[in-house]
């Protein structure tokens, strides 16, 4: 189901062919090669990128080469009409920088300067970057390592990699702009991340905040403000595909079969209603609920749940897990970004991870570091392989997507895939690998929690945005791998936490320095009780995106050669990259600030 379910067309990439404007032989000799260079970049990006909703990425090439300010203005006007959200300037030659650069302060921008000797494209690149930096308009530098001949419009592998890295991050920035974060409820259990910091969402992400009380779900359930036909379809699908797991509650707290059946009906209705609150539903207008049919244009949302809701109603685990998965009773589709406990900052982290990878995300507690000694003490067994230095137990009651079972495959290995690559057989395997356990006793209103264990061998990136007083938002991330523990070891460790919840055993890649000296130091330096986990080693994409938004990165284990930031960052201290990142982000300020 490839579609844009939110209001507003998907952002396009603007391609700006710039040229030496001197006529009488110079410009004329460069027109064809410059425009062909632009077309090659556009074709490459359109062939290799999709939006997270599955739509193809669209590139818009300026109508003419840009040799001066008039043509720059013409391109800007065309881009504004076409919904361009990021720009790439390309040239094989010298041009007049101040007259040809993109001066829109709110869109990410890059310059591809051709590495050739016949015409000084690299000279323009350097001069244009200098102009951008002097004017406070950070731009990314794309410059191939190897010299090419004039007229050779092929894109070298290193140029391709930087184009994709810049474009994917830039599209994420542009996609968030103008969308909403929807808080369903307020602060859960005193967790500071639940506070919807409007300054952060508005100034850094370009988003607005929307709020509804959890009683809106009650109102819609009681008054039938949901698609009854879809409810019947969904409930039938649940009965056929969602198998119940063990009820670990003491006898006096076990719910009857009748209560559990009512719980299933309630949690399915909650799922329909939360989705409608986020993205709207035209079916509601047909039923006479025009206002409710519109939704909140929410690209991400959070549900408070605990404790005001869960002390009386079934918990939100089913709703969160199904919405964040890449499939439901309507088939395979883009995952929704729904945060448990209305952790707004984790929702924002899940959102950027989703937009960068096109895949569902894992929401989890960063629950426990299990050292080798502790594991041996409680199980009598030794950890081996990449888990030999200890593991981090990532778990939470519900909102890990069912994709996180690892039952999808890429190249024969466990994976979490873009929804358009997922097969019906893989959906079936994800459902079969999941049990829905009656909620434990502190969810007094009942409900069901997902229980599965993530398969080993998936490259993943754990990330989190935190707000620091006096600094603002900071991003931390850790690339690593999922592992599986021997069944008897897993069972003992899992029982000590909550056996009805999903488990992802995570081992970060260690560098031997800083926060990545050991698995323990990664856990000890984590800035919150929650994290978002993306499939793949995508720390470089997160770092590029963070620099566009002016969010410094406080902790990462990404190799230096994979890091791609605007050229201005080197001017803040090339010899000390972490400090330079903080200084640059502070100096330029939030993208929309």
Residue positions in the annotated binding site? 341, 365, 530
For 137, the token pair is 């308009």
Looking at residue 380, what is its pLDDT? Answer: 97
Please provide the distance, in angstroms rounded to a whole number, between the alpha carbons at the two ends of the chain. 36
Looking at domain 180-588, its CATH superfamily turns out to be: L-fucose/L-arabinose isomerase, C-terminal (3.20.14.10)
- Determine the topology of domain 12-176 in CATH: Rossmann fold (3.40.50)
* Domain ranges across the chain: 12-176, 180-588
Closest by CA position to 295, among listed 220, 242, 234, 245: 220
What are the catalytic residues?
341, 365
**Nearest 5°: phi and psi at 154?**
-70, 155
CA separation for the pair 253, 261 (Å, rounded): 16
Looking at residue 3, what is its pLDDT? Answer: 85
Q: Is the peptide bond before 325 cis (omega within 30 degrees of 0)?
A: no
CA separation for the pair 462, 477 (Å, rounded): 5
Looking at residue 398, what is its pLDDT? Answer: 67
Looking at residue 393, what is its pLDDT? Answer: 97
CA 403 to chain centre: 15
Looking at residue 574, what is its pLDDT? Answer: 85
Looking at residue 117, what is its pLDDT? Answer: 64
Looking at residue 147, what is its pLDDT? Answer: 79
CA separation for the pair 548, 590 (Å, rounded): 9
Answer for the pair 318, 267: CB distance below 8 angstroms, yes or no: yes
Answer for the pair 194, 304: CB distance below 8 angstroms, yes or no: yes
Angle between helix axes 157-176 and 26-48 (nearest 10 degrees) is 70
Looking at residue 197, what is its pLDDT? Answer: 96
- Which uninterrupted H or E stretch holds 111? strand 109-113
Looking at residue 2, what is its pLDDT? Answer: 75
Do domains 12-176 and 180-588 share one topology? The answer is no
Looking at residue 462, what is its pLDDT? Answer: 98
Closest by CA position to 485, among listed 381, 570, 348: 381
CA separation for the pair 404, 322 (Å, rounded): 12
Give the SS3 label for residue 491: helix
How many Cα atoms within 13 Å fall on the side-chain side of residue 457?
11
Looking at residue 119, what is its pLDDT? Answer: 66
Residue numbers of the chain with a pLDDT score lower than 50? none
**Nearest 5°: phi and psi at 333?**
-155, 175
Largest CA distance in the chain: 92
Give per-residue pLDDT as tens, 489-536: 999 999 998 889 999 999 999 999 999 999 999 999 999 999 999 999
Looking at residue 466, what is its pLDDT? Answer: 98
CA separation for the pair 263, 238 (Å, rounded): 12
Residue positions in the annotated binding site for Mn(2+)? 341, 365, 530
CA 436 to chain centre: 26
CA separation for the pair 278, 51 (Å, rounded): 19
Looking at residue 166, what is its pLDDT? Answer: 98
Looking at residue 388, what is its pLDDT? Answer: 97
Looking at residue 118, what is its pLDDT? Answer: 64
């Amino acid at each position: 189901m490839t579609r844009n379910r939110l209001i507003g067309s998907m952002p396009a990439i603007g391609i700006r062919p710039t040229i030496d404007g001197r006529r009488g032989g110079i410009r004329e000799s460069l027109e064809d090669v410059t425009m062909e260079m632009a077309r090659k970049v556009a074709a490459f990006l359109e062939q290799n990128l999709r939006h997270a909703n599955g739509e193809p990425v669209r590139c818009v090439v300026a109508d003419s080469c840009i040799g001066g300010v008039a043509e720059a203005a013409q391109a800007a006007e065309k881009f504004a009409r076409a919904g361009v959200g990021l720009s790439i300037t390309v040239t094989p030659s010298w041009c007049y920088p101040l007259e040809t650069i993109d001066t829109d302060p709110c869109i990410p921008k890059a310059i591809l300067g051709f590495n050739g000797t016949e015409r000084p494209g690299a000279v323009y690149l350097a001069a244009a970057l200098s102009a951008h930096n002097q004017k406070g308009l950070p731009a990314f530098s794309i410059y191939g390592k190897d010299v090419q001949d004039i007229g050779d419009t092929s894109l070298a592998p290193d140029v391709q990699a930087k184009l994709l890295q810049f474009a994917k991050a830039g599209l994420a920035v542009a996609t968030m702009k103008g969308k909403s974060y929807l808080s369903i409820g307020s602060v859960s259990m005193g967790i500071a991340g639940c506070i919807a910091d409007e300054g952060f969402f508005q100034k850094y992400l370009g988003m607005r905040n929307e709020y509804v009380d959890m009683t809106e779900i009650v109102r819609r359930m009681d008054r039938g403000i949901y698609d009854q036909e879809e409810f019947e379809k969904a409930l039938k699908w649940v009965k056929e595909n969602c198998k119940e797991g063990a009820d670990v509650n003491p006898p006096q707290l076990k719910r009857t079969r009748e209560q559990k059946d009512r719980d299933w009906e309630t949690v399915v209705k909650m799922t329909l209603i939360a989705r409608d609150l986020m993205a709207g539903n035209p079916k509601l207008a047909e039923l006479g609920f025009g206002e409710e049919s519109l939704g909140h244009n929410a690209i991400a949302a959070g549900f408070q749940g605990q404790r005001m809701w869960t002390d009386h109603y079934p918990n939100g685990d089913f709703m969160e897990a199904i919405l964040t998965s890449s499939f439901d009773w309507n088939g395979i589709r883009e995952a929704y970004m729904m945060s448990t406990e209305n952790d707004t900052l984790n929702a924002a982290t899940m959102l950027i991870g989703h937009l960068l990878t096109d895949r569902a995300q894992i929401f989890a507690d960063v629950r426990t570091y299990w050292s080798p000694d502790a594991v041996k003490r409680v199980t009598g067994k030794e950890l081996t392989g990449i888990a030999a230095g200890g593991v981090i137990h990532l778990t939470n009651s519900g909102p890990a997507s069912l994709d996180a079972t690892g039952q999808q495959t890429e190249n024969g290995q466990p994976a979490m895939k873009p929804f358009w690559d997922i097969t019906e057989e893989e959906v079936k395997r994800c459902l079969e690998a999941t049990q829905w356990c009656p909620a434990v006793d502190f969810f007094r209103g009942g409900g069901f929690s997902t229980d599965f264990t993530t398969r080993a061998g998936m490259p993943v990136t754990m990330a989190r945005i935190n707000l620091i007083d006096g600094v603002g938002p900071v991003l931390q991330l850790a690339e690593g791998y999922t592992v599986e523990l021997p069944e008897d070891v897993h069972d003992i460790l899992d029982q000590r936490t909550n056996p009805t919840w999903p488990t992802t055993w995570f081992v970060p890649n260690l560098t031997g320095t800083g926060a990545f000296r050991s698995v323990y130091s990664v856990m000890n330096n984590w800035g919150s009780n929650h994290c978002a986990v993306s499939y793949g080693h995508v720390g470089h994409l997160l770092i590029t995106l963070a620099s566009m938004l002016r969010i410094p990165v406080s902790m990462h284990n990404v190799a230096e050669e994979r890091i791609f930031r605007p050229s201005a960052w080197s001017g803040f201290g090339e010899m000390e990259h972490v400090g330079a990142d903080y200084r640059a982000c502070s100096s330029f300020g939030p993208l929309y600030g």
